[in-house]
Amino acid sequence: MSDFEGKVVIVTGAGNGLGRSHALAFAERGAKVVVNDLGGSVHGEGQSDAADAVVDEIKAAGGSAVANKASVSDRDGAKSIVDDALAAFGTVDIVVNNAGILRDKSFKNMTLDEFDLVIDVHLRGSAYVTRFAWPIMYEKNWGRVVLTSSTSGIFGNFGQANYGAAKMAMLGLMNVLAIEGATHNVRVNCLAPGAATRMTASVPGSTIDMSSPPPQMSPALVTPAVLYMCSEDAPSAHTIHAAGGRFSRSQTYTNEGVALGLEATYDDLTEEVAKVVDMGGAEPFDPLARRRRRG
């Protein structure tokens, strides 16, 4: 029996690309899916019935799904996604935050509105939907949350200050929620995907032909990581990279540093700075281990 049989799963931005792939995979394994998608462009403009099309696809295959067309960046809209899950299926077990937009420009040419729009959808939208679902999962001592990060945030990418800031923020949100959810079996992880989608095709310099995308860039090759992070044996506070059938993990490392005392000066620091920045003996940082030490 599938880990997902009977589970109620919310997937945001599920009308196309990665979200659609995730939604179909959960439904195929017996989950009941809320397919959320405003149906707009990669820039967040307009609306469409993309969510309905995915729901029809799931139902045609014998699955169970409902559509929601609200914007995750609107608090009432985010709440409506969870409300629709409760109305249709009675609970929420899994939230996959996938919805996103792009407004790529170099930082000196980016307007503050363009910065805010991307932050609103990626960061606030993920936080809003998760927040409305959180008490449900917390009270029943079972829940799984996936936040979609990106190498653009983890490692950086030219022209994506807004997107990169939002995507790195996912790691901070993950670390805190993983700690807070640990005692109630609510596990929170980050996905860093690589696939041919409308969004990746729109990035300046992209050579992806969406009429014939390369098979190694299929969203279906990312979805197994999402299923793993939502399974019964899922980890928590992990960042999993998935692209082209290759899966890996990135993690924060910290070194021992140097203790300069309560009268430390700039000169003291410059004398020891080589030891401060040396990562030769660095060790991985585990936020859940830190919680256990404090507990």
The better pLDDT of the pair 144, 42 is held by 144
Is 253 annotated as catalytic?
A: no
196 band by pLDDT with thresholds 50, 70 and 90: confident
Active-site hit among 163, 228, 253, 266 = 163
Contacts of 107 (CB under 8 A, 6+ apart): 161
* The token pair that represents 103 in the structure block: 């407004």
Question: In DSSP terms, which residues pair with 11 in a beta bridge?
Answer: 35, 96
Q: Which of 23-27, 54-58, 90-94, 283-287 has the lowest mean pLDDT?
A: 283-287
Percent of the chain, pLDDT > 70?
Answer: 89
Domain with CATH 3.40.50.720 in the chain: 8-251
Is 8-251 CATH 3.40.50.720? yes
Determine how many CB atoms are found less than 10 A away from the CB of residue 189.
Answer: 26
Residue 192 has pLDDT above 70, yes or no: yes
Residue 19 has pLDDT above 50, yes or no: yes
